[in-house]
Amino acid sequence: MMGRPVLVLSQNIKRESGRKVQIGNITAAKTIADIIRTCLGPRAMMKMLLDPMGGIVMTNDGNAILREIQVQHPAAKSMIEISRTQDEEVGDGTTSVIILAGEMLSVAEQFLEQQMHPTVVISAYRQALDDITPVEVNNRDMMLKIINSAINTKALSRWSTLACNIALDAVRTVELEENGRKEIDIKKYAKVEKVPGGIIEDSCVLKGVMVNKDVTHPRMRRLIKNPRIVLLDCSLEYKKGESQTDIEISREEDFARILQMEEEYIQQICEDIIRLKPDLIFTEKGISDLAQHYLMKANITAIRRVRKTDNNRIARTDELREEDVGTGAGLFEVKKIGDEYFTFVTECKDPKACTILLRGASKEILAEVERNLQDAMQVCRNVLLDPHLLPGGGAVEMEVSHRLTERSRALTGVEQWPYRAVAQALEVIPRTLIQNCGASAIRVLTSLRAKHTQEGNTSWGINGETGTLAEMEQLGIWEPLAVKAQTYKTAVETAILLLRIDDIVSGHKKKGEDQAGGAPMEDKE
């Protein structure tokens, strides 16, 4: 038995531990941050990604890029996860949060090399996070300026006024106030319809709903002023048996009788509807030829097979009664855009849902425009729900960094170095902004640091277009407090989480399984 190795883990399990794992995690996080570093700021570069199906995605939205990338390293996976969280929580700042988290880990590397224990670094980071308190400014007039700041870094920046107005109108339309609580559900009630063709300037917010459908019968009216609308979720055709239904007919008259029953049934339904004198019917199911004929004679326009979500957006109805006939819309029309017919129900009184109609040269451009608009609407929603603002352009990062450096002087012991490193890491945002403009990072950053050491210069940051110093209040570049606070919190907490890991045990993958999956992570403290 002497000198024989004792095997504890099964042979096909790989284990890495100690310093090697920590350095590995830091490298993985830095790599992810480097991928989207050039996507920050108004001079951001675009990334072109091919998905496995051969489709193209062109975007500079951090979250959209990372969603498409397949990674193997567990630490890289958790980095991608935080960008998704950021997108779901506040809808903006996805690029910043990754760059910051990557930088926080990057500055921790030197301390680990100096044999400082990770828990010391972590507690310093924790304390720095508690001390980060962004400076807030209150002003309601800034709405368009804030959305503008969000859009300027995107491909939409050329049409920023148009985009800002679209975002603001859409969010204002779906804003509901119930019992003193604001609710803004963009996903449900602000629908984006993308129609390739035309130019981006043709995009608009419809105060109502647009559906990709034509009328069921060519002789039905295509333009109705102040229509009376009925929404149905039943079909206007004879009910067929659920499964295969056999009917045995022995006499010829019985067959005629069956057909007559079908006709009577449809006539009965149509009469019930016609009694309400609607001008327009939307149904989620089909409409038979006979029903079309009856509705035609009554001069009623019918649209069939409408998606349930669209029907919900037009309104909500159940049993048919006189008060269920909607009269809120001012205009119904069917227009031909490109090769397809689109139905518009617009000019509504006090609408609570809207459709954003986007036009543009190609599908890829439209997809990018839609992503940018989603960001703009999220920013708009954040500000309406929490009207605290901060100057953008790296001004807040520099100010917070300056204050942390000041405070670190009061600390004693070894913790002051990692604490100071957090301050240093925050400077990555203004530095990246300068680099993306092609200006000299060292010179501009030094002068910005000097600016922030003087009193009253809290809102000085980087002009993302030129890479020079600028007063953010005058430039009108603002960001919502909710986004900033979330970015710092997520970045520091991710850095702490990844620093804590000192062991990765990866199980053996069976052959034939997907190779893209990463290894499971084991956390030992």
Could you list the active site residues?
61, 94-95, 375
Is the distance from CB of 366 to CB of 200 less than 8 angstroms?
no
Structure tokens at 503: 């062991």
Is the distance from CB of 415 to CB of 120 less than 8 angstroms?
yes
Q: How far is Cα 463 from Cα 471, in angstroms, rounded to an integer?
A: 8
> Phi then psi for 76, rounded to 5 degrees?
-65, -35
Beta bridge partners of 463: 468
Is the distance from CB of 99 to CB of 41 less than 8 angstroms?
no
Q: How far is Cα 175 from Cα 189, in angstroms, rounded to an integer?
A: 10
Structure tokens at 136: 């807030």
Strands 190-196 and 354-360: parallel
Residue 457 to residues 45, 450, 462, 521, Cα–Cα distance (Å): 30, 10, 13, 45
Beta bridge partners of 503: 17
Strands 468-471 and 503-506: unpaired
Is the distance from CB of 427 to CB of 441 less than 8 angstroms?
no
Query: How would DSSP label each residue in 458-492?
Result: TTEEEETTTTEEEEHHHHT-EEEHHHHHHHHHHHH
Q: With the C-alpha atoms ordered 28, 32, 33, 37, is the resulting torsion angle positive or negative?
A: positive
Is the distance from CB of 184 to CB of 385 less than 8 angstroms?
yes
Secondary structure class of 8 (helix, strand, coil): coil
Residue 499 to residues 21, 120, 506, Cα–Cα distance (Å): 9, 11, 18
Q: How far is Cα 395 from Cα 401, in angstroms, rounded to an integer?
A: 10
Fill in the amino acid letter for 516.
A
Q: Which run of H or E residues covers position 500?
A: helix 481-500
Cα Rg for the chain, rounded, in angstroms? 30
How many helices (H) does the chain have, and how many strands (E)?
18, 21
Query: Cβ neighbours of residue 156 under 8 Å, at least 6 residues apart?
Result: 163, 368, 369, 372, 373, 376
DSSP state of 257: H
* Residue whose entry in the numeric block shows the structure tokens 């002051």: 416
